[in-house]
Amino acid sequence: MNLTAIAIDDEPRALEVVQIHAQKVPFLELKATFTDAFEAIPYLQQNKVDLIFLDIKMPDISGIEFVHILQKTPMIIFTTAYSEYAVNGFELDAIDYLMKPFSLVRFTKACNKALEIKSLRGEERPNFIFLKTGYDEEKVLLDEILYVEAEGNYMAYVFSNRKLLSRQNINDALSQLTTNGDLHSQFIRVHRSYIVAINKIQKITRQSVWVAGNEISIGASYEEKLSEIREKLNLI
């Protein structure tokens, strides 16, 4: 996972420091720099970035004011030589606050924090997958899947009004429905033969979950998943 960023500072030397540091952070891609904050606005309207390195004290508009006029706000790391602005910066949910002059180590630490937050939030993902059925591939909306059941050499994708068979094993199915075991996934494996859509669960008992009126056993080795399921369903 990478971070895309821009930097805004009225001092060219300060931007140069950010550029030099950014080149040494492997997951950070500094896309553009601006000495005029207003010139950054059309860029942000046309380009998606994860992060802005933003000076606070600038002549025409402060970094604080700049954040307030943005329609969509990326993550912000404030950069300034004035410590009295720190409280205002964190009130805007800034990721970090770098006091000039800041070292590469301190800069990298702030970038790592931003990367972790991006990871926790999760990137936008498609709401569909393609399933191989015979020689064809069928587009399936994730929101329509109730649960998935292993049937011999096939996985049966169960919907409210049909069932679709795809030649794959349960690990293949789980990998396709989630992303690297993403904890924010809408699917969870509850048995060696079953994957269920979390938001389709109607009831949880000690040993089962119910989906669309169907009782699905929770495997002995998956019982610890109960607490995870309840947490995702906001039941605890």
Give the length of the chain: 236
CB 157 within 8 A of CB 164: yes
Most confident of 76-80, 144-148, 223-227: 144-148
Q: Scan for tokens 């993403």, then name that residue.
A: 182
pLDDT mean across residues, the chain: 85
State yes or no: pLDDT of 215 exceeds 80. Answer: yes
pLDDT of residue 155: 95
> Residue 235 — pLDDT band, cuts 50, 70, 90?
very low
Residue that terminates a domain, selected from 102, 121, 140: 121
In terms of phi and psi (left: phi > 0; alpha: psi -120 to 50; beta: otherwise), the region of 172 is alpha
Beta bridge partners of 129: 140
Q: Are residues 137 and 114 in the same domain?
A: no
Output DSSP code: residue 182: -
Output the domain CATH number for residue 224: 2.40.50.1020
CB 73 within 8 A of CB 94: no
Write down the pTM of the prediction. 0.53
Residue that terminates a domain, selected from 69, 103, 121: 121
Please give the residue range of the domain that contains residue 213.
128-232
Q: Are residues 116 and 149 in the same domain?
A: no
Record the tokens describing residue 169, joined without a space.
């094993």
The per-residue pLDDT for range 158-197, each reduced to its tens digit, is 999 999 999 999 988 888 887 544 434 688 889 999 999 9
The pLDDT > 70 percentage for the chain reads: 86
Element (H, E) at 118: helix 104-121
pLDDT of residue 83: 63
Q: Are residues 11 and 84 in the same domain?
A: yes
Output DSSP code: residue 3: E
Q: Are residues 182 and 153 in the same domain?
A: yes
pLDDT of residue 28: 95
4, 5, 49, 174, 229 from 89: Cα distances, Å: 21, 18, 19, 41, 36
State yes or no: pLDDT of 16 exceeds 60. Answer: yes
Beta bridge partners of 76: 52
Count of domains for the chain: 2
Strands, E assignment, the chain: 3-8, 28-34, 51-55, 75-80, 96-99, 128-133, 136-141, 147-151, 154-158, 163-166, 187-191, 194-197, 201-204, 208-211, 214-217
Q: Are residues 169 and 103 in the same domain?
A: no
Q: Is 97 exposed, middle or buried (CB count within 10 Å of its CB: 0-12, 13-18, 19+)? A: buried
